[in-house]
Amino acid sequence: MEPKSRKGSPKERNSTATNDPPATRKPSTRVKGVINYDEKHAFKDLKELDHAVDDRATNDPQEQGSDAEDSWETDSFLEEAIIEFTEEDFVDGPDACTPEESVNYRQLLRSVGPKEFVKRTIDAGIITTKKLLTAFNVRPPDFFEGLADEEYFPLLSVAISRELSKRVKLQKYNTIDDVVGLLHKSKNIIVLTGAGISTSLGIPDFRSKGTGLYAQYAHLGLNDPQEIFDIELFKQDPHVFYTVARDVIVQTDRFSPTHAFIALLQQKGKLLTNYSQNIDNIEEKAGILPEKLVQCHGSFATATCIKCKYQVKGDVIFPDIKAGRIPRCTKCAEGRNLPKKGRKRKLNKDGTERKARRRPGDFDSNSDSEFDVPIEACGVMKPDITFFGEPLPDEFGKRLTEHDRDLVDLVIVIGTSLKVAPVSEVVPFLPPNIPQIYISRTPVSHVNFDVDLLGDCDIVVAELCRRAGWALDHEMIPKDQVVDVTTADGYQSRHVFVQTHPSPSAAPSPATSGPASRSSSESERDPKAERDKRAASRSNSRKGSAGLEGTGK
């Protein structure tokens, strides 16, 4: 079977691997106090809700028949048109549900089902359809503005369908003490990590607005900044990737407190697998064993020629990348600049060897290769990171489906917004009765985690270890660190972590190589310059980088 690319689903990989019918999950006896509307009834109600949408739109049977032919296209269009927002984008006002109202509406939906939910809300006249959409973190597209409220109903149908497809939160886990208890008793923890666990080392993430790499390179003129990592574009023009690569490669032996936390779980015999989306290879430097690590998107540890598949260690091509050159394959070029065996050499009148006439496409002395051979004869060296359009490592799907899924007893997601498939589908693929904890700066709305721990990842894990009685020794964790933890308004399972002592601005900056760390340390010496820089970044982001995703790769 051909392996799935980054757009594929591990769930799909597992279901297509055999001819057996997909297994149905048995209801867990370990789960208590979960509000979960019966799925069969939910889908039945959703069909009736779709009919209701049609009825509201038209009463003409012929028109209804014509509309039915286009129903799939319409649903697909609405899925793409819906704009999901996070609390970071939330604007309080009379046209939006408060966080507490949103939680109550989502719980009501699951307890009574879609049909009754609509009766008790919209049909009862207690809320408009437009406002109810905000309870599901949905903002209608701009072209809906000014339309009658009933025109928003198809969007609500899609939003309800999305909500019912999500995993149900386990109601028994809400507090930080609950999380600490899970850390103590769990023996097979899956940790899924993203770029957010490395930013404290001065390594920029990809999707943060204004500061992420995708925002910084919007000037390249690509239709989508993610095309930087598109395999077809790389084959056509590797210059685009290598323009950015010098800012992506990491040459440091340091690792963050969050990396140390994962290593501590391993040391205590609790780490089942660390699924990392990062390509910086810092997990290895932190001591995560190869048998405990799946680098879902590969890494810069090695590089391979796209033509002859010759592989070298990653640091072999680093000098070329840092110098702004495209690294070429030495194996392809080996011996090609020498005359063929047995071939008579042409000599000048003075007895010196006559050089071959250069043809269009040949390298010159200032080219990207030290070998005097045609460009097509030397393949481009590509770091062994997984580009969009390339298959993920076989170990990813195999370990997840054949090993980890049956053993995992706790899931911790750290520093990723879970935007890139198929890694984003790891969490919903795992058994829904397994507790799931989320650690990052901002929450996500497309996954129902049991507990959200919001803040700097390093600060959160340090406080968790302190409360668990574990020694997490790391140079970046102040000995006298004090962390203030508050529960977010409207939520009982969402907690915000802020370091109050010492002041974060007084903490020493990490000494890593690359432009990101230099700009970071310089701005810390001049707080005003940093504020001005952030304001400018936000302004540029709004003008040229709208729609970029949040933290994590």
- Please give the full DSSP string across 52-117, using - where no structure is assigned: HHHHHH---HHHHHHHHHTHHHHHHHHHHH-EE--TTT---STTS--HHHHHHHHHHHHHH-HHHH
**Nearest residue to 156 (alpha-carbon basis) of 132, 174, 191:** 132
Give the Cβ contact number of residue 149 at 10 Å. 12
Q: Is the pLDDT of residue 23 over 50?
A: no
Looking at residue 6, its pLDDT comes to 55
Q: What angle do CA 296, 205, 525 make, to 5 degrees?
A: 145
Q: Is the pLDDT of residue 252 over 90?
A: no
- How many helical (H) and strand (E) elements, i.e. helices and strands, does the chain have? 21, 13
Looking at residue 539, its pLDDT comes to 41
Specify whether 297 is catalytic.
yes
Q: Which of 186-195, 238-247, 294-303, 523-532 has the lowest mean pLDDT?
A: 523-532
3-state secondary structure of 392: coil
Residue the block writes with tokens 């950015």: 244
Average pLDDT over residues 238-260: 86
Q: Is the pLDDT of residue 226 over 70?
A: yes
Looking at residue 423, its pLDDT comes to 86
Structure tokens at 391: 């298959």
Q: Is the pLDDT of residue 374 over 60?
A: no
Provide the 8-state DSSP code for 32.
Answer: -
Q: Side chain identity at 126, as an amino acid letter?
A: I
Give the Cβ contact number of residue 341 at 10 Å. 5
Q: Is the pLDDT of residue 370 over 80?
A: no
pLDDT tens readout for residues 496-530? 999 999 987 655 555 444 333 333 333 333 434 44
**Nearest residue to 330 (alpha-carbon basis) of 314, 301, 308, 354:** 308
Residue 156, Cβ density class (10 Å: 0-12 exposed, 13-18 middle, ≥19 buried): buried
Q: Is the pTM of this model over 0.85?
A: no
* Band of pLDDT at residue 420, cut at 50, 70 and 90: confident
Q: Is the pLDDT of residue 196 over 70?
A: yes
Average pLDDT over residues 364-392: 70
Q: Is the pLDDT of residue 303 over 90?
A: yes
The rounded distance, in Å, linking the Cα atoms of 137 and 445 is 7
Calculate the CA dihedral of residues 24, 30, 32, 37 and round it to 10 degrees: 0
Structure tokens at 356: 């071959």
Q: Side chain identity at 378, as an amino acid letter?
A: C
Radius of gyration of the chain (CA): 27
Looking at residue 548, its pLDDT comes to 30
* Band of pLDDT at residue 81, cut at 50, 70 and 90: low
The rounded distance, in Å, linking the Cα atoms of 313 and 300 is 8
Q: Is the pLDDT of residue 164 over 70?
A: yes
Structure tokens at 216: 């910084």
Q: Is the pLDDT of residue 371 over 70?
A: no
Q: Is the pLDDT of residue 104 over 70?
A: yes
**Residue of 41, 184, 239, 297 marked catalytic:** 297
Terminal Cα-to-Cα distance of the chain (whole angstroms): 27
Mean predicted lDDT score pLDDT of the chain: 75
Q: Is the pLDDT of residue 180 over 80?
A: yes
* Band of pLDDT at residue 407, cut at 50, 70 and 90: very high
The rounded distance, in Å, linking the Cα atoms of 327 and 310 is 13
